Chain A
């Protein structure tokens, strides 16, 4: 199972181990963590919620899209759900490829797609209230298609 949701803290090495293969010359790992300050506002903790069966399907779809673009890539993604404290790991994406450039690019592709098509929501709990965060990219998602070249942000 390369694509998971986890109610427990993510063991980063376990995600990496899933993409290790003899023909890989590079493994990139993206670790998304819970940030304390956002635009001057202090987050106390977060709650992630998912539409679980569909979220797993969409993570698998991202894996398939990466396979199409980078046929030798191996991808594994685990996203956390539930209550997370500051510095906790929210998501781990591991990608292996024969050469480093593809591993960086494919990993970047995966996180951008997560923010577009995977039904996971975060509720920020601030010192003075709470709010569901939506549309971090401030773009319309691409439910059926793929992001255009210019949509992968830097």
Chain B
């Protein structure tokens, strides 16, 4: 299983902070597609993705046990 973390507007939109998805061997892009199709999560084109707390691109392949975080545009400072 892959653990998916959601923050800020994405979490508000989905109504939860984490979900678990069977996505071993998928790319980040495929996971985004699934999030869009299954949870109607919008705006994923403009978010960054972190895999295990490091930024990753859409081609990154996921493995069981990975933690994926969708990072909306940040606004710290």
Question: Which A residues lie at the B interface, using CB under 8 A?
Answer: 32, 48-51, 53-55, 57, 79, 90-91, 111, 114-123, 132-136, 141, 143-144
Contact = CB atoms under 8 A, between A and B. Distances in A.
Interface residues of B, number: 19
A93 B48 CA distance: 25
A10 to B, nearest CB: 13
Given A51-B50, A54-B69, A144-B55, A117 B74 contact: yes
22 contacts: A48-B76, A51-B50, A51-B69, A55-B76, A91-B77, A114-B76, A114-B77, A115-B74, A115-B75, A117-B55, A120-B75, A121-B72, A121-B74, A122-B75, A134-B74, A135-B73, A135-B74, A136-B73, A136-B77, A141-B48, A141-B74, A143-B55
B77 A133 contact: no
A132 B75 CA distance: 9
B74 A120 contact: yes
